[in-house]
């Protein structure tokens, strides 16, 4: 009896020491947690490249080449992209703040009687839209969107050294994860008190969602953003680069997507009397959005990641609010972890909690 009591004291003392050390380690790594998560996501995407290179060269050299490829694909375009984005986003913010957008809309409404015709139809439902309300709403939207993107871009541009250091840290983490990632996963699985198949399920879901975000949504957003920006430029609309970026980000969002930009642009062209261009914008939006969402993404991602459309929408919106632009990645990952744990609970633990189910 005394030996059992002594053993329990030792066990609880060890657990206390372990939890304290884990807490302190978490405090040490917390400033870099965003970089670590992003590195893990990027590693899961580029791991096939590393495996392919590793067949012909050493693990060290293969990892180095993969990191060089990541640098060329991610770092150089990001630096170029941030400089242009911050300038155009600030211009959009000033247009909204100084009521430049309102004046342009006011001129369109004065030369067009379309708003009167719309109000004539809406009068049946006792609804009326005034030019002042429309001006105020669109100007405020332009100000909010422009300021958000300007903050995101300028925070990188004004702290370019910090951005470079964090990117270097990410590459360093990726370098070792590519070579020793399997060992780390085995260590986590061995350390976890969960059954092996449940740990593997969580890790696999993380990899699947990473692929869905960066490969499926990322490539889909890039295609829609570039195509949308080119169309805006060809039709003479201002800040085509900025609107292309906004469409690339909105493409991550289900339900609304790039329609938030394309439909108002089509209405704007319609008010300007460019009827053919307006119709083209609507048709092009339907083809572009539908082609990416229903043809490209299913082929790239498949059906491995099952999440309700509305849940994806709120996880991205919530992620953007909490984590900034990286919330596009973190929001769905957090939701995926919760849904996977819920599934494990239903299949393995619900009967333990409620034996009557």
Pick the residue with more confidence: 183 or 353? 183
Per-residue model confidence as pLDDT tens digits over 184-243? 888 888 888 878 888 888 888 877 777 777 777 778 888 888 898 899 888 888 777 777
What is the rounded CA–CA span in Å between residue 341 and residue 173? 27
pLDDT, averaged across the chain:
75
pTM for this model (two decimals): 0.66
Task: Read off the pLDDT band of 100 (50, 70, 90).
Answer: very low
Least confident of 31-40, 297-306, 315-324: 297-306
What is the rounded CA–CA span in Å between residue 78 and residue 114? 42
Pick the residue with more confidence: 156 or 300? 300
Percentage of the chain beyond pLDDT 90 is 5
b/e string for 310-339 if b means 16 or more Cβ within 10 A?
A: eebbebbeebbeebebbbbbbbbbbbbeeb
List CB contacts of 173: < 8 A, sequence separation 6 or more. 35, 36, 39, 40, 43
Least confident of 20-24, 51-55, 107-111: 107-111
What is the rounded CA–CA span in Å between residue 357 and residue 16? 36
* Residue-level pLDDT at 38: 83
Q: Please, where are the H alpha helices in the chain?
A: 2-29, 33-54, 59-70, 76-97, 100-111, 114-122, 131-157, 160-191, 196-211, 218-234, 240-250, 259-271, 275-291, 297-301, 309-323, 327-344, 350-353
Domain ranges of the chain: 31-191, 195-350
Pick the residue with more confidence: 79 or 194? 194
pLDDT at 166 over 50: yes
User: What integer is the mean pLDDT of 145-152?
Assistant: 56
What is the rounded CA–CA span in Å between residue 278 and residue 177? 49
* Residue-level pLDDT at 208: 76
Per-residue model confidence as pLDDT tens digits over 253-286? 776 778 878 887 887 777 777 888 888 988 998 8
User: What integer is the mean pLDDT of 19-33?
Assistant: 87
User: What integer is the mean pLDDT of 332-355?
Assistant: 76
> For residue 175, what are the CA distances in angstroms to 31, 64, 178?
20, 7, 6
Task: Read off the pLDDT band of 6 (50, 70, 90).
Answer: low
Tokens for 95, please give them. Answer: 């247009």
* Residue-level pLDDT at 74: 78
pLDDT at 356 over 70: no
User: Which stretch, 59-73, 291-305, 332-346, has highest mean pLDDT?
Assistant: 59-73
What is the rounded CA–CA span in Å between residue 208 and residue 303? 10
Task: Kindly state the DSSP code that residue 251 receives in the 8-state scheme.
Answer: T
Contact 261, 239 (CB under 8 A): no
* Residue-level pLDDT at 15: 84
Pick the residue with more confidence: 171 or 125? 171
């Amino acid at each position: 009896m005394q030996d059992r009591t002594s053993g329990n004291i030792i066990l609880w003392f060890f657990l206390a020491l372990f939890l304290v050390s884990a807490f302190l380690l978490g405090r040490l790594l917390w400033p870099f947690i965003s970089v670590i998560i992003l590195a893990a996501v990027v590693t899961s995407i580029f791991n096939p490249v590393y495996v392919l290179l590793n067949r012909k060269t050493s693990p060290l050299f293969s990892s180095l080449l993969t990191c060089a490829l990541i640098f060329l694909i991610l770092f150089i375009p990001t630096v170029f992209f941030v400089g242009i984005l911050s300038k155009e986003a600030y211009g959009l913010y000033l247009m909204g703040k100084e009521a430049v957008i309102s004046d342009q809309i006011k001129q369109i409404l004065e030369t067009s009687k379309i708003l009167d015709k719309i109000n004539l139809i809406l009068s049946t439902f006792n609804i009326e839209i005034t030019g002042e309300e429309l001006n105020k709403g669109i100007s405020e939207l332009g100000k909010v969107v422009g300021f958000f993107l300007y903050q995101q871009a300028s925070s990188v541009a004004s702290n370019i050294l910090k951005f470079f250091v964090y990117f270097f840290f990410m590459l360093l983490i990726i370098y070792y994860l590519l070579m020793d990632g399997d060992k780390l996963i085995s260590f986590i699985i061995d350390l976890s008190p969960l059954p092996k198949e449940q740990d593997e399920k969580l890790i696999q879901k993380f990899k699947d969602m990473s692929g869905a975000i960066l490969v499926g949504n990322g490539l889909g957003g890039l295609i829609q953003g570039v195509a949308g920006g080119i169309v805006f430029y060809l039709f003479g609309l201002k800040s085509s680069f900025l609107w292309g970026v906004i469409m690339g980000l909105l493409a991550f969002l289900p339900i609304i997507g790039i329609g938030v930009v394309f439909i108002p642009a089509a209405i704007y062209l319609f008010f300007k009397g460019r009827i053919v261009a307006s119709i083209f914008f609507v048709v092009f939006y339907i083809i572009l959005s539908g082609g990416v969402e229903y043809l490209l993404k299913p082929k790239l991602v498949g059906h491995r990641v099952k999440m309700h459309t509305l849940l994806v929408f709120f996880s991205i919106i919530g992620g953007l609010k909490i984590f900034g632009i990286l919330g596009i990645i973190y929001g769905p990952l957090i939701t995926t972890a919760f849904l996977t744990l819920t599934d494990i609970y239903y299949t393995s633990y619900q009967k333990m909690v409620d034996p009557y189910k």
